[in-house]
């Protein structure tokens, strides 16, 4: 779901860039006026900032998901260790001739 949203936003940003290029290609005069250049620069800056924000939020989500995955792994390792300690404790009690369930 997150990757799909990221891809959608990248496609929207790419469409914005193509729309700006088409607009400028059709409207810009051959000499190149400063007005259109400033519009292009502003739009390009907005698109670049938008893409940077998208990339940052995407990688933040990836890192958070990875952190939670590692946290779950640590919890499962802890549970496995506790279970092995219980088994060893029961084995020692049986070796001594004691009752494990007591």
DSSP 38-96: HHHHHHHHHHHHHHHHHHHHHHHHHHHHHHHHHHHHHHHHHHHHHHHHHHHHHHHHHHT
Asked, for residue 74, whether it belongs to a domain, the answer is: yes
Asked, for residue 100, whether it belongs to a domain, the answer is: no
What is the C-alpha separation between 45 and 2, in angstroms, rounded? 25
Do the beta carbons of residue 40 and residue 20 sit within 8 Å? yes
Asked if the model's pLDDT at residue 23 lies above 70, the reply is no
What is the C-alpha separation between 39 and 47, in angstroms, rounded? 12
Asked, for residue 6, whether it belongs to a domain, the answer is: yes
pTM for this model (two decimals)? 0.36
* pLDDT tens-digit readout, 48-102: 777 777 777 777 777 777 777 777 766 777 777 778 878 887 887 787 776 766 5
What local confidence, expressed as pLDDT, does residue 28 receive? 57
Asked, for residue 101, whether it belongs to a domain, the answer is: no
Asked, for residue 62, whether it belongs to a domain, the answer is: yes
What local confidence, expressed as pLDDT, does residue 30 receive? 57
Asked, for residue 52, whether it belongs to a domain, the answer is: yes
Can you give the residue range of the structural domain that contains 85? Answer: 2-95
- Which range among 32-36, 39-43, 80-84, 95-99 shows the weakest confidence by mean pLDDT? 32-36
The total number of structural domains in the chain stands at 1
Asked, for residue 102, whether it belongs to a domain, the answer is: no
């Amino acid at each position: 779901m997150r990757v799909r949203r990221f891809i959608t936003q990248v496609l929207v940003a790419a469409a914005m860039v193509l729309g700006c290029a088409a607009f400028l290609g059709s409207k810009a005069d051959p000499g190149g006026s400063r007005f259109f250049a400033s519009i292009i620069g502003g739009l390009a800056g907005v698109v670049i900032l938008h893409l940077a924000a998208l990339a940052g939020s995407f990688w933040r989500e990836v890192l958070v998901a990875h952190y939670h995955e590692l946290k779950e792994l640590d919890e499962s390792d802890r549970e496995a260790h506790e279970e092995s300690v219980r088994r060893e404790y029961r084995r020692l009690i049986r070796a001594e001739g004691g009752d494990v369930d007591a």
